[in-house]
Amino acid sequence: MNRSLRIVLILLAAIAGGLLIFNQVNTHYLSKRKAHLSTIDNLTTRLAAYQKNARDHVRVKGELQAIIDRTLGGSIEIVDHRLRTRLNRLAEQAQLQSPTVGTGSSGSARRSPAASAFRSFRDLYVEIDFVEVEGWISGTGTFEQALRLIDAIEAEPWIKRINQIRLDPKDNGNRFDVSLRLTTLFLPGQTPDPDAHLSPVPTEFERLAVFLQSNPFRVPPPAPVAEPPQQARTEAPPQHTPTFPYQRWKLTGVAHGPNGPEVWLLDAESKETRVLSMSEKLHEMELMAIETDSAVFRIGEKHVRIAVGSRMNERTPARQ
């Protein structure tokens, strides 16, 4: 056997031995290690999810307890009693007359809207999320007392939904029949923390001061009809003769005609024309003389000058 063939056989034997060794190592060590690592990864992921769920459980439980602490109790009997008590107290604080308080003592159960996701968990599927309880209050009072009742109910810290408010004015808005319907809820079997005191939320009732003063339900009395003052009988004022419309007449020209000096006049509205010779008049204005671009008239005891192109009421004094 030559040297080259011997080297090839040795290499083939080494490769075969290496493959055999790798197969044994992979079978007895590497594959098991890979499986163990995959198991560790899965367990690590599940542990992280469990820790997250545990933290979320604490957070959700705290948030749920905060909601429970804003309810009036954990059973229909307790909630019904406390709701009536609080509504009566609010009616007394508002000083309503003849207050009436009522509740729907049976309640209305509400199941989870996600019930379809819990079909494989019978207990969660049939569990009631919360129960709604209706309540109402009515009475008679002034406009301010009615608004104070509504404002006080709105300020109550327990969970509620105001469904209806009705105000019936009486005596021209001086008195009102007020009624209010609301809904509260509770979680069955979940009792509020006795140390969590429900205090009313502060309100700013003063913001309604202007609304209270105006009272849109009050119709103001009709204003008294004022009698016309009696005027002393007087003599009818003398009738004045309408003034002559000098502003309509315009001096359009001056000339020396066959009969001596003359002026030409035009009524700007009616387009009537007039020609005045010496001593002739336009109403009370008598022609006295003409000049190059004006004419002199006498009106009463005065002499006035009218320029050509001017209206007869546009006058300047002229020497006599």
Nearest to 200 by CA among 163, 148, 164, 165: 148
- pLDDT tens for 100-137 read 999 987 778 877 666 666 666 666 666 788 899 999 99
Q: Which residue is it, tokens 């109790």?
A: 73
Q: What is the pLDDT of residue 230?
A: 62
Residue 149, pLDDT score = 92
Share of the chain above pLDDT 70, in %: 84
Please list the ranges in the chain whose pLDDT falls under 50. Answer: none
Each residue's pLDDT tens digit, 142-152: 998 999 999 89
pTM of this prediction?
A: 0.52
Question: What length is written for the chain?
Answer: 320
Please name the residues in contact with 74: beta carbons below 8 A apart, sequence gap of 6 or more. Answer: 68, 186, 187, 188, 189, 190, 191, 192
- For 213-276, what is the HEC assignment? HHCCCCCCCCCCCCCCCCCCCCCCCCCCCCCCCHHHEEEEEEEEECCEEEEEEEECCCCCEEEE
